[in-house]
Amino acid sequence: MGDNNNNNNNKYIQSLVSNARVARLATIDFEEVKPHIVPVVFVFDGNSYYVPIDKKPKRDDDPEQLRRVRNIQKNPNVALLIDEYKEDWSKLFFIMIQGKGSLIGKSTGQDDVKKVRKTEVVSKQQLDQHQHVRNSSKSRYNIKNAQNLLLEKYPQYQKIGVGQLCIMICPEKVFRWKMSNSKPG
């Protein structure tokens, strides 16, 4: 009974994550010694979260000059907050993912990404808190896979392009909260 209930809970959380359209990415800005938070689009492949560095206009043409990217290069600790506000507060929820962020894509080597995952140390308690499948042998550290998932979830990318870089977030802890037992709708 407990396994079935936990399995239903996992499916419910995966549904919330896959249906969410926007999240907030928090990094640490060491230059100003402050948190840095930006709204982002994202996808989840069953193991990691991907945030595109896309072709939307930004102040600098070099995506590696974006503050969130510079912050992750200095300190990979990140948080991704997925939430939904409804006027009916019984339908409120949030999911916060804490983990390690890294840049993958054209200007980064896939080997670097694999090293991050292999050296990651996760306790049993952290694994129990994480409600998603974490089978590293099935992980897909492929920018093409992330791009395809983004194109599928966000048709707007058909026109503007996804870009060649993504921030990959390997979860360490997942916290969730919802108001009451009702499901968002």
pLDDT in tens, 89-103: 988 999 999 999 999
Overall domain count for the chain: 1
- Structural domain contains residue 63: yes
- Structural domain contains residue 184: no
- Structural domain contains residue 66: yes
Average pLDDT over the chain, rounded to an integer:
77
Q: What confidence tier does 11 reach under pLDDT thresholds 50, 70, 90?
A: confident
Q: Is the dihedral of CA 141, 144, 148, 153 positive or negative?
A: positive
The answer to whether residue 44 scores a pLDDT higher than 90 is yes
Other CB atoms within 10 A of residue 19 CB: 11
CA distance 137 to 127: 16
Give the domain extent around 172: 2-178
pTM: 0.74
Residues 6+ apart with CB under 8 A from 144: none
CA distance 27 to 25: 7
CA distance 20 to 181: 19
Q: Which residue has the tokens 């069953």?
A: 46
- Structural domain contains residue 88: yes
- Structural domain contains residue 165: yes
Q: So what's the pLDDT on residue 91?
A: 86
The answer to whether residue 37 scores a pLDDT higher than 90 is yes
Q: Please tell me the number of Cα atoms within 13 Å of 62 on its side-chain side.
A: 5
Q: What confidence tier does 125 reach under pLDDT thresholds 50, 70, 90?
A: very low
Q: In 46-184, where does DSSP find H-type helix?
A: 67-74, 110-119, 124-129, 143-153, 157-160
Structure tokens at 98: 């804490």
Between these two residues, 98 and 111, which has the higher pLDDT value? 98
Read off the CATH number of the domain in which 123 is found.
2.30.110.10
Q: So what's the pLDDT on residue 183?
A: 54
- Structural domain contains residue 89: yes
Alpha-carbon separation of residue 167 from 1, 53, 141, 146, 182 (angstroms): 38, 7, 11, 10, 33
User: Mean pLDDT throughout 69-86?
Assistant: 94
- Structural domain contains residue 185: no
Q: So what's the pLDDT on residue 113?
A: 36
- Structural domain contains residue 170: yes
